[in-house]
């Protein structure tokens, strides 16, 4: 680490961090709980990607006939290789079927456009504490605040490497704030 003139280092202070989920989910801690920097304190699932499939075009059907050709219903789970739709053909001949190329859940079947919308598997999001300390505030399903001992370095500081490190060494996420009062 290289120090430059004007750098101020607070030897010991109470550090406060605010951790928030991108969308509502589950906060796993309560007010008063002790957490470590690597503890998962909240989690949620982001909606998966949307995959529109034009079955009318793929099976050479009028859009109004797509709903009858689909072998699954809205809300059903689909995996790659599963038969998504099947036509009866002409006089029992020239039958065709369409197999899914993606995993997910059937979100909608349109008789107007002839498309089936498949929503991909949800994307899990876990939020870590990034600061050892005590939880002081919790908003159910969305955010929390916690505090712990740490150092504040104000000024120009050049540091090689990043990552989690104990709060006593000045670690913490970007955007966290510190109180100027010293710890007891």
131, 146 contact by CB (below 8 A): yes
Structure confidence at residue 182 (pLDDT): 42
DSSP string covering 22-36:
SSS-EE---TT-EE-
Which domains, and CATH codes, for the chain? 2-42+129-179 (no CATH), 50-121 (2.40.50)
- The pLDDT tens digits of the residues spanning 107-161 come to 999 999 999 999 998 999 999 988 888 888 888 888 888 888 877 766 655 555 5
- Rounded CA separation 26/28 (Å): 6
Q: Three-state DSSP class for 69?
A: helix
DSSP string covering 116-128:
EEEEEPPEEEEEE
What averages of pLDDT result for each successive group of 10 residues across the chain (184 residues)?
64 81 90 91 92 91 89 92 84 80 92 93 90 87 82 62 48 48 41
Structure confidence at residue 183 (pLDDT): 41
Exposure string over 40-55, b if 16+ CB within 10 A, otherwise e: ebbebeeebeebebeb
Structure confidence at residue 169 (pLDDT): 44
């Amino acid at each position: 680490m290289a120090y430059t003139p004007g750098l101020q280092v607070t030897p010991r202070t109470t550090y406060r961090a605010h951790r928030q989920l991108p969308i509502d989910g589950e906060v796993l801690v309560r007010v008063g709980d002790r957490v470590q920097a690597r503890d998962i304190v909240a989690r949620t699932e982001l909606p998966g990607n949307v995959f529109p499939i034009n079955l009318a075009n793929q099976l050479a059907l009028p859009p109004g006939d797509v709903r009858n050709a689909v072998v699954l219903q809205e809300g059903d789970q689909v995996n790659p290789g599963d038969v998504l739709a099947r036509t009866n053909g002409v006089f029992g001949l020239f039958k065709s079927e369409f197999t899914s190329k993606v995993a997910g859940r059937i979100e909608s079947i349109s008789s107007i456009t002839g498309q089936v919308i498949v929503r991909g598997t949800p994307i899990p999001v876990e939020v870590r504490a990034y600061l050892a300390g005590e939880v002081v505030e919790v908003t159910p399903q969305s955010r929390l605040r916690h505090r712990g001992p740490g150092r504040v370095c104000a000024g120009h500081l050049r540091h090689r490497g990043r990552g989690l490190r104990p709060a006593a060494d000045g670690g913490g996420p970007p955007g966290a704030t510190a109180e100027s009062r010293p710890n007891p």
